[in-house]
A and B are shown apart, each in its own frame.
Chain A
Amino acid sequence: MARRNLNWMVGAVATLMCGHVIAGPVMDEVKSKGSLVCLVSPNAPGFSVPDSQGVFQGFNADFCRMAAAAILGDASKADIRGVGFSDSLKTIVARQAHLASRSITSTGTRDADPGVSFVVTSFFDGQGFMVPKSLGVKNASQLNGATVCAEEGSTTLLNIADYFGDRGMQYRVENIADKTARLAAFFSGKCDVYASDVTALTSDRLLATEPAAYQILPEVISAEPLTLVSQPDAAFEKAVYWAFQVMLNAEQFGVNQANVDQVVASLATQPKGVARLFAKDGATADMGQKLGLPTDWAYQVIKQVGNYNDVFERHLGASTAFGMQRAGGVNALVRDGGLMYPYPIR
């Protein structure tokens, strides 16, 4: 701790003396250490799971890499660590990690904590229900008297209580902490309904011996904007926020991980918006100078991590075990009917 304070002071004094950009302490710490500590869930299929080499892979893990690519110019400098849910915000407050990309729902009371900043929503989700088709239920209002399998101690239970309570419906909860056991209980008919976030439901359904025998009900009973959380630090938050916007903008302009080199080589013939993203004297280069990022940070994000669609398709999309459809869903770009709104970079 003492040494970190020293680093800090040296960093602060150095920035003051050289008249460089005055970044926040978190930004300085990330740069002086050359690594960005980022928290993920230890076992969330598709979002963050260690691969066979013990390296975290998944949708959430890639946003850790995005931040490292933007700030340090190297996605591999993200020090991705698996932690349990209740520990993640605490670890951020205790300043033991810089960023959490861990499917944390942004809520009013959480954001009111001065120790954390909710930066940008990387994934919109909501809670839903899965039932066996043999139950003959077509929508959630017919679930009166059902037995629900849900995770112990989660907000899932609170949302169920709200939903059934508001409608005066009876229900019984089967609390099972372990996901494998919970699913086994549901598939063996111990409960009528399985409740979880809709994205989780789509992947869990595939674990049934006969997935076609189960359906996900149309109702989504809660809003779960899953958001990147950082230590409060204006410069750091801006860097993460705009790195995410670069990923959305790149998708909007059709620039992806595969063609970015080609695009950058032929900037003169590209639309003006693309030039602003990647040109050496473009808008991102200007932003980089003001935020203290590498000049080509936008290129590094797309080259090393990809645009939003690359990340989504790589971990959750049609070619994966989850086979999620992005088009038409809330996580599509605004032009495709979703909630992902690329802010202008100029």
Chain B
Amino acid sequence: MTWRAAYFRDRLLNGIGLVALVWILWWAFDWLIVSAIGWGGDRASCLNATGACWPFWAEKWRLMLFGTYPFESHWRPMAASLILLTLVGVTGCQCARVIFRFSVRTLSVFWVLGCIVSVILMAGGIFGLSPVPTTRWNGLPVLLLLAILSLILALPLGIGLAIARVKSQSAVIRIAAAIFVDGMRAIPMVSVLFVGIFVLPLVFPRQVNLDPMWSTLLVLIVFHAAYVAEDVRAGLESVPAGQSDAALALGLTRMQVIRHVVLPQALTQALPALLNTIIGAYKDTSLVLILGLFDLVATARMAFSDPLWQRQALEAYVLVGLWFFVSCRFLSWVGRRIDQSSVR
């Protein structure tokens, strides 16, 4: 192909792409604004509209965010969600080296406090907050709690597993860690979730009344830990053997070598892969829907199951999709910033 042909081909492809983009944007604009029924409109006019039904969002946004959580206490899941989102936002910005410069210790304290306060806000039962059973925890806070708590707890577990698999001197521990990690990764998440909900309670004695919310969390932690372990293992193996040999020769103990020499380099190497795992795990959290936990997708379904709003499934799913798009976009922005700064 001559350069001229290539030039015209590229121009043509660009043109087609531009037309497609404009067409999609116009279609979205038409659906959202032009043909839509406005925020203050009424339900009846939505039935014949070809565009979005804003009154549906106006009517159902609280149901979609918080589900069947007692209405008068909605400030509690709202506050819990804001705390968790702020923590993620601040930590993300710090990783991306934007605005915040807290020490790791300060940030850890924030995280521990934030998680405890969020759970207390949701559960109640102390400080004069009325108790709310986990069956009424729905929507955004469930998604955030499950995703964030499972990932926070899976990270140290996964790092431990990776070290056990690569650096342990005992063959038994190495093999056990390998079997666990590879076994977990060979099973689909859905099966693992079902085991957690239906088999785990059979293993425990009858008196232990395992709440579905917490047993799901337990399963998610164990599952994500296996993937984290693989990412970290790749990082560990990329650190040249000379590094730990030199550190050992300087008289550091094996634990000190891992902690101060190998792990920092390994984690830096593993970060892009880890971030991928985190984004994937976050999106997969919605699978808990099949276990009867009502996350954002489930509450969206509740919203358009209302007999009066059954035609508004698209509006409900658009909102959920938008939420996942924005949050995943943020996470991958953080990932790219980390990549850039580690190259520099």
* A positions within 8 Å CB-CB of B: 1-2, 42-46, 49-56, 79, 81-84, 87, 96, 180, 203, 206-207, 315, 320-322
Contacts and interface: CB of A to CB of B under 8 A. Distances in A.
A325 B187 CA distance: 49
Interface string B127-162: 000000101101000000000000000000000000
A42 B298 contact: yes
10 tightest Cβ-Cβ pairs between the two chains A and B: A43-B305, A84-B292, A53-B71, A321-B307, A54-B68, A81-B135, A49-B305, A45-B307, A180-B313, A50-B68
Contacts of A42: 292, 294, 298, 301-302
B67 A83 contact: no
A49 B302 contact: yes
Interface of B: 59-60, 62-63, 66-71, 133, 135-136, 138, 207, 209, 290-292, 294, 298, 301-302, 304-308, 310-311, 313
B71 A55 contact: yes
B310 A321 contact: yes
Contacts of A81: 68, 133, 135-136
Contact of A54 (B71, B135, B301): B71
A175 B298 CA distance: 20
Contact of A87 (B292, B294, B301, B307): B292
Contact of B69 (A2, A54, A315): A54
Nearest to B67: A54
A2 B208 CA distance: 10
11 contacts: A46-B307, A50-B67, A53-B62, A54-B63, A54-B69, A55-B71, A56-B68, A84-B290, A84-B292, A203-B307, A321-B308
Given A45-B310, A49-B307, 17 more contacts: A46-B307, A50-B67, A50-B306, A51-B63, A52-B59, A52-B306, A54-B69, A54-B138, A55-B68, A55-B71, A79-B133, A81-B135, A82-B135, A82-B302, A84-B291, A180-B313, A322-B307
Nearest to B68: A54
A160 B67 CA distance: 35
A8 B301 CA distance: 38
Task: From A1, A54, A55, name the one whose CB has the most chain B CB atoms within 10 angstroms.
Answer: A54
Given A42-B298, A87-B292, A51 B209 contact: no
A82 B63 CA distance: 14
B98 to A, nearest CB: 37
Interface residues of chain B: helix, strand, loop or mixed (majority)? helix
Contacts of B133: 79, 81
Interface residues of chain A: helix, strand, loop or mixed (majority)? loop
Contacts of A49: 302, 305-307
B68 to A, nearest CB: 4
Contacts of A55: 68, 71
Contacts of B310: 45, 203, 206-207, 321
B131 to A, nearest CB: 12
Contacts of B71: 53-55
Nearest to B308: A321
A183 to B, nearest CB: 9
B63 A45 contact: no
Given A42-B298, A42-B302, A54 B308 contact: no
Contacts of A46: 307
Contacts of A84: 290-292
Contacts of B136: 81
B53 to A, nearest CB: 14
Task: From A53, A79, A207, A322, name the one whose CB has the most chain B CB atoms within 10 angstroms.
Answer: A53
B305 A45 contact: yes
Contact of B292 (A44, A83, A315): A83
A5 to B, nearest CB: 9
A42 B142 CA distance: 16
A96 B291 CA distance: 16
Contacts of A45: 305-307, 310
A87 B197 CA distance: 10
B24 to A, nearest CB: 21
A50 B301 CA distance: 10
Nearest to B292: A84
A79 B292 CA distance: 17
B62 A52 contact: yes
Contacts of B62: 52-54
A50 B302 contact: yes
A44 B305 contact: yes
B136 to A, nearest CB: 7
Nearest to A320: B307
A211 B60 CA distance: 26
